[in-house]
Amino acid sequence: MRHYKKGRKLGTDASHTKAMKKSLVGALFLNDRIKTVEARAKEVRGDVDKIIGWAKRGDVHSRRLAIAALGDKDLVREIFEKVEQGMFKDRNGGYTRIMKLGNRKGDNAPIVIMELVTEPVGKKKAETKAAAGKKTAAKKATPVKAKAAEEVVEAVEDAAEEVVEAAEEATEEAVEAVEDAVEEAAEEVVEEKKTEE
């Protein structure tokens, strides 16, 4: 029986599993993304979240716990500095993303890309649904306003047609004035040439 033996076996003995998880977590923090087998990625998620939680606390004890978990002081310092500068500030968990790539050719193992989530947190779906519900309720509650809006639209369209007609008339008058001016100028030029001769 596997009493007190939590987690997946991953096909290795306990010491190998522990070393492999430490290596995967270190590689993820170093490169921001790794490509591995799905079971390993899911097993490592909790360790990554724990280390980022320690970095958010930021005290000496948390730093020592992270060094014990990762085994690399420089990498821990880098992680703690990034978190101090505001990385993961508005995110309360879910610091990793797992994207499936399909199965490996040799042994058909499911391969995934695991990466750190660095984007800011978006609005929750419940908030957006509530806002949409308010809009539809407002639309249903005001049929009188809808009719008034239609009348306003019709009035605006009529006014726009009148403006277009007035503009067309004005352009016709302007074209006629320009033609008259051109004809007069041409006549003056012709008369000047005649007087010169």
Instruction: Name the token pair of 165.
Output: 């007609």
Cα separation, 65 vs 50, in Å, equals 10
Residue pLDDT, tens place only, 53-103:
999 999 999 999 999 999 999 999 999 999 999 888 888 888 999 999 999
Residue pLDDT, tens place only, 89-139:
888 888 999 999 999 999 999 999 999 998 888 777 666 666 666 666 655
Whether residue 4 is predicted with pLDDT greater than 80 in this model: the reply is yes
Residue pLDDT, tens place only, 167-181:
788 888 877 887 888
Instruction: Name the token pair of 74.
Output: 């420089």
- Would you state the pLDDT for residue 180? 82
Cα separation, 151 vs 46, in Å, equals 61
Cα separation, 32 vs 95, in Å, equals 11
More confident call, 108 vs 164: 108
- Mean pLDDT score, 9-35: 92
Write out 5-72 in H/E/C secondary structure. CCCCCCCCCHHHHHHHHHHHHHHHHHHCEEEEEHHHHHHHHHHHHHHHHHHHHCCHHHHHHHHHHHCC
- Would you state the pLDDT for residue 144? 65
